[in-house]
Amino acid sequence: SQQGEEDPQALSIQEGENATMNCSYKTSINNLQWYRQNSGRGLVHLILIRSNEREKHSGRLRVTLDTSKKSSSLLITASRAADTASYFCATDPIQGAQKLVFGQGTRLTINP
Amino acid sequence: SAVISQKPSRDICQRGTSLTIQCQVDSQVTMMFWYRQQPGQSLTLIATANQGSEATYESGFVIDKFPISRPNLTFSTLTVSNMSPEDSSIYLCSVGVGSGKTEAFFGQGTRLTVV
């Protein structure tokens, strides 16, 4: 069953702007991950944040995690046309099991 | 990291037939997973492919409909049996690597259309 809810479901912004996507989940987690999917193809891992971390950066990506609210956000700064894709959060409820539970995803469109 | 080759990349099949999807990994991995992504939806885990034993299926998925093989630590197949249009989806295999086994790597997916 789907654990995560993501909002917005779709987001369209101009190139150069920042994009923020949110994810909420229901159960306790060991970590939360964000993935990108281009045009219905395979997923690419972007960043992982552990349950004892609050914020993490990787290049133009910034992820926050609030375990008290069971929510996370992904911020993409200075967006580019190549960032156009669907973004999914995924939780790993059972440590080491790698049975990921995915959110519904956000379809991000960057307009040139 | 891991490189996963999944084939076919896409197929159009007649209802009532079966399709076997192959997943080949460039290194030995303990766990392999099969996901389904219905049109416009997110990914749902079908099963965990276990080497040397039967696959472990998630709620709502059964072996008769989605038989899985895992003959070794680098290869797995998923069969979609007796297909109907409702089976039209993208099917993805996934593995985890690394000491923490936290990051998942995905194949490029198989886009299945049942007519």
A88 contacts in B (CB within 8 Å)? 42-43
Give me the phi and psi of A99, to 5 degrees please.
Answer: -85, 85
Q: Is the pLDDT of residue B47 over 90?
A: yes
* A45 → closest Cβ in B6, B33, B104: B104
What integer is the mean pLDDT of A32-41?
Answer: 90
More confident residue, A78 or A28: A78
Residue-level pLDDT at B11: 97
Residue-level pLDDT at A2: 46
**Residue numbers of A between 31 and 90 with CB closer than 8 Å to B:** 31, 33, 35, 40-45, 48, 88, 90
A43 contacts B92? CB cut-off 8 A: yes
Could you tell me whether strands B110-114 and B10-13 are parallel, antiparallel, or unpaired per DSSP bridges? Answer: parallel
Residue-level pLDDT at A8: 86
CB B114 within 8 A of CB B84: yes
Q: Is the pLDDT of residue B66 over 70?
A: yes
A98 contacts B96? CB cut-off 8 A: yes
A40 contacts in B (CB within 8 Å)? 37, 90, 109, 111
- Per residue in A53-88, pLDDT tens? 999 999 999 999 999 999 999 999 999 999 999 999
B42 contacts A103? CB cut-off 8 A: yes
Average pLDDT, chain A: 90
Residue-level pLDDT at B101: 55
A33 contacts B104? CB cut-off 8 A: yes
A101 contacts B103? CB cut-off 8 A: no
A105 contacts B31? CB cut-off 8 A: no
What integer is the mean pLDDT of B54-77?
Answer: 95
Sort A59 into a burial class: Cβ within 10 Å, 0-12 / 13-18 / 19+. exposed
- Exposure class string for B3-12: b at 16+ Cβ within 10 A, else e: ebebeeeeee
